[in-house]
Amino acid sequence: MTLTRTDVENPLPLARALVGSRGRGNVWLMLALAGVFMAVGLASISLSRPSDADLWAGFAVWIVCALGAALVLKWRLQSHDPLLLALSMFLSGWGLVAIERLAPAFADRQALWLLVSVLAMLAIALFPQVLRWLRGYRYSLLAAALLLLSATIVLGRNPSGFEHAPRLWLGIGAFYFQPSEIMKVILVAFMASYLAEQSAAFRAHADQAPGAAGLSLRLIGPIILMWLLSMVILVWQRDLGTAMLFFIVFLLLLYLSCGDPRLVFSGALLVLAAGAVAYQLFDVVQLRVDIWLDPWPEADGRAYQIVQSLMAFGAGGIAGAGPGLGSPGYIPVVHSDFIFAAIAEEWGLLGVIAILCSFGVLAWRGLAIALAQRGSAFHRLLAAGLTLTLLVQALMIMAGVLKLLPLTGVTLPFISYGGSSLFVCHIMVGLLLRLSAGAR
Amino acid sequence: MNIEVTIFILRLIAGLSLAGFLLALFVVIWRNAGGAIQLPAAAGFEQGHLTCEQPALADEAQRYSLRPILTMGRAEANTIVIRDDYASAKHARIVLEQGRWWLEDRGSRNGTQLNGETIASRAILADGDEIGIGKYRYRLHLNREYTAL
């Protein structure tokens, strides 16, 4: 990265310990602090649940993952951005503790997924061919992902086994996977590589008529077609949160590559229009919007979950009730979409601020990496697209849980329970690590 | 040990480790923000420099690259520290605005001279201008592609 200064200018030893020898973050210090934070949380949980001896298995897995990943990256990928690893391990470690607290039965499974995810992240960070494959085989990859996604219509299952629950998973034995999660990476890579190839055409248009950048259908037709196809499948499957996420990321990437501000305004109008149509068509959207506008008449009925979530935020206060000492169990299925409310109750406003800061810094580093990709428009758009996907997803669910936006059922990246989500978030971090170290 | 005391200690440690983690993040942001200001000079886009012409002192750096904001004065915090009794602590600064370099007087007691004349508040700079503060004289050298603007 070009933004670093030499340490000669910084004489304070404390500052040097905080920023590390390269001035880009001290991964060891941050992982150690995250580990202490997790250990203290688990100890506090074990006090409220003395009989449970199995509590520390996930923590052991986390230590192995964090130290292993940090060592491997230090040896094999010297110039990577250390904040990415520190933040992703901090957030997923916090997620492990929260899941251990909220749904102990799922904690071991999540720890296993963390191990798999970190291995995948390292594999992607260490092998530069992955970026070439994402670009070279983009149509095949997208077709395969669409196939998997449409397979959920016929073969889809839901691990919870409820009759009316959305069937978004593909299952083999005890192993479940959500194709819409992996679609995030593949769709962003597809859009980035396609838009990168058109960037010369975009620029030529902009030169001819400044202000009216070229958004001709010929340029972006194929991309809209592919995107519509995946949207149809997602809407068919009622995975509306993911559909909304794709919509927003698609618009942002289009804006980044052509720079026409009208896109943002018309995009916002389109989102509203799509919301209005969905309100008429889907009961679930109608429900979400209704309880967003006024949850209180149905506080013990259809709006129970969101009302309990708000109460959890209130009960948490500034410092929180303490891990294991609150009662977030009142929120139904709190360990997946609503995990942010549980964190707000047990770690309080301070914990919420820490999580917001972590996502904010993650987004800042990701966009800085995108800016530093001078050679390749594909790499720049890919880094920006992956970062924006993580950021928009985190904002959507955090705002949803706080009733700032209608609730959209997406996971909180790194923290929520869910193997596919954890896996894909780490794949994104792996790609960003690769790009931060220089893609060649 | 009393369980409430234990929990209190645990929460204290949790809060401290969380605060330490955030502090480490913010120090990195702080340093990167500082580095961004220095980026143009570091990347070889030096747009010009000042040389000290009077009095000629061998032990001081006499060439200063132009930065988007360059401050001059007697205080140690300035980019160019002027050790002259006639210089104010915050005497003047050179800023880049709308593609032009401006010399601004920061309310100094004895005024700032541009080519021998005291400026009212601010003035546009051109290649070869002479800036006078106290008994010091600085010559401005703008790079060729930059003077065209």
Q: What is the pLDDT of residues A291-348, one digit of tens each?
A: 888 888 888 888 888 899 999 999 998 888 888 888 888 888 888 889 999 999 999 9
User: Whose CA is closest to B120, among B128, B109, B130, B112?
Assistant: B112
A238 with A166: CB under 8 angstroms? yes
Residue A55 vs residue A15, higher pLDDT: A55
What share of chain A in percent tops pLDDT 90? 35
Supply the pLDDT for residue A432.
95
CA distance B141 to A270: 53
The answer on pLDDT for A41 being more than 60 is yes
By CB atoms closer than 10 A (0-12, 13-18, 19+), residue A355 is buried
User: Whose CA is closest to A125, among A75, A192, A200, A64?
Assistant: A75
Tell me A411's DSSP state. P
Residue type, A269: L
What mean pLDDT, rounded, does chain A reach?
84
Domain encompassing residue A195: 129-168+180-281
3-state secondary structure of B102: strand
| Count of beta carbons in the 10 Å neighbourhood of residue A349 | 14
Supply the pLDDT for residue A4.
40
Residues A229-258 have a mean pLDDT of: 80
3-state secondary structure of B64: strand
Is the same domain home to A298 and A418? yes
The model's pLDDT over A180-200, given as tens digits with 9 standing for 90+, comes to 888 899 989 998 998 888 776
User: Whose CA is closest to B21, among A178, A259, A106, A353?
Assistant: A353
How many folded domains does chain A comprise?
Answer: 2
Inter-helix orientation angle A57-76/A82-102, to 10°: 170
CA distance A42 to B37: 43
Residues A124-137 have a mean pLDDT of: 89
3-state secondary structure of A187: helix
Supply the pLDDT for residue A1.
37
Strand (E) or helix (H) holding B97: strand B92-97
Supply the pLDDT for residue A259.
72
Is the same domain home to A318 and A431? yes
Q: Enumerate the H helices of A237-300 as residue ranges.
A: 240-258, 261-281, 283-293
A165 contact B CB<8A: no
Supply the pLDDT for residue A3.
38
Which residues, including other chains, have CB under 8 Å from residue B8's CB and lie 6 or more apart?
Answer: none
Q: Do B25 and A83 touch (CB under 8 A)?
A: yes
From A257, A281, A305, the end of a domain falls on A281
* CB-side neighbour CA atoms (13 Å) of A303: 20
The answer on pLDDT for A388 being more than 60 is yes
CA distance A358 to A70: 18
Is the same domain home to A21 and A87? yes
Residues A405-411 have a mean pLDDT of: 86
User: Whose CA is closest to A266, among A245, A251, A279?
Assistant: A251
The answer on pLDDT for A169 being more than 80 is no
The answer on pLDDT for A263 being more than 80 is no
Is the same domain home to A13 and A145? no
Is the same domain home to A297 and A205? no
Q: Do A18 and B28 touch (CB under 8 A)?
A: yes
> Lowest mean pLDDT: which of A139-148, A210-219, A260-269, A430-439?
A210-219
C-alpha distances (whole Å) from A349 to each of A251, A397, B94 are: 32, 17, 44
Residue B37 vs residue A79, higher pLDDT: A79
Tell me B105's DSSP state. E
Which residues, including other chains, have CB under 8 Å from residue A358's CB and lie 6 or more apart?
Answer: A87, A90, A91, B25
Is the same domain home to A389 and A276? no
Is the same domain home to A247 and A341? no
The model's pLDDT over A208-243, given as tens digits with 9 standing for 90+, comes to 554 444 556 666 676 677 677 767 777 777 777 888
Strand (E) or helix (H) holding A137: none
Assigned domain for A150 exists: yes
A133 contact B CB<8A: no
Residue type, A281: L
Supply the pLDDT for residue A2.
39
The answer on pLDDT for A25 being more than 90 is no
Assigned domain for A151 exists: yes
CA distance A183 to A196: 19
> Lowest mean pLDDT: which of A84-88, A164-168, B90-94?
A164-168
Residues of B in contact with A358 (CB under 8 A): 25
Assigned domain for A419 exists: yes
Residue A252 vs residue B144, higher pLDDT: A252
User: Whose CA is closest to A181, among A344, A433, A423?
Assistant: A423
Instruction: Among A8, A28, A30, A49, pick the best mutation site for testing chain B contact (most B Cβ within 10 A).
Output: A30
Supply the pLDDT for residue A228.
78
**If you search the block for the tokens 């002192």, which residue do you land on?**
B57
Instruction: Among A28, A33, A325, pick the best mutation site for testing chain B contact (most B Cβ within 10 A).
Output: A33
Assigned domain for A143 exists: yes
Residues of B in contact with A343 (CB under 8 A): none
Assigned domain for A26 exists: yes
Assigned domain for A173 exists: no
**If you search the block for the tokens 């959207």, which residue do you land on?**
A285
3-state secondary structure of A50: coil
> Lowest mean pLDDT: which of A40-44, A270-274, B37-41?
B37-41
| Count of beta carbons in the 10 Å neighbourhood of residue A293 | 9
CA distance A81 to A87: 11
Is the same domain home to A140 and A118? no
Q: Minimal Cα–Cα distance from B111 to chain A, Å?
A: 32
3-state secondary structure of B95: strand
| Count of beta carbons in the 10 Å neighbourhood of residue A55 | 17
* CB-side neighbour CA atoms (13 Å) of A152: 30
Q: Do B25 and A23 touch (CB under 8 A)?
A: no
Residues A360-374 have a mean pLDDT of: 89
The answer on pLDDT for A94 being more than 90 is yes
* Both structure tokens of A435: 């790009």
What mean pLDDT, rounded, does chain B reach?
80
Assigned domain for A175 exists: no
Is the same domain home to A136 and A261? yes
ipTM (interface predicted TM): 0.82
Nearest CB to B35; choose among A3, A30, A357? A3
Q: Is the peptide bond before A328 cis (omega within 30 degrees of 0)?
A: no
Q: Minimal Cα–Cα distance from B24 to chain A, Å?
A: 5
CA distance A142 to A129: 18
CA distance A173 to A135: 33
Assigned domain for A377 exists: yes
Q: Minimal Cα–Cα distance from A403 to chain B, Å?
A: 26
Is the same domain home to A306 and A210? no
Which residues, including other chains, have CB under 8 Å from residue A72's CB and lie 6 or more apart?
Answer: A122, A126
The model's pLDDT over B49-104, given as tens digits with 9 standing for 90+, comes to 888 887 766 555 578 888 878 899 998 888 888 888 889 999 999 988 767 788 99
Is the same domain home to A345 and A424? yes
Supply the pLDDT for residue A251.
84
Supply the pLDDT for residue A114.
95
Supply the pLDDT for residue B146.
40
CA distance B116 to B131: 8
Residues of A in contact with B39 (CB under 8 A): 2-3
From A281, A300, A321, the end of a domain falls on A281
User: Whose CA is closest to A105, among A410, A419, A335, A426?
Assistant: A335
Q: Minimal Cα–Cα distance from A281 to chain B, Å?
A: 45
For chain A, positions 39-68, list CB contacts with chain B under 8 A. 40-41, 43-44, 47
pTM equals 0.77
**If you search the block for the tokens 């200063």, which residue do you land on?**
B64
From A261, A281, A301, the end of a domain falls on A281
Is the same domain home to A191 and A86? no
Beta bridge partners of B63: B51
A159 with A217: CB under 8 angstroms? no
> Lowest mean pLDDT: which of A5-9, A79-83, A133-137, A165-169?
A5-9
| Count of beta carbons in the 10 Å neighbourhood of residue A370 | 22
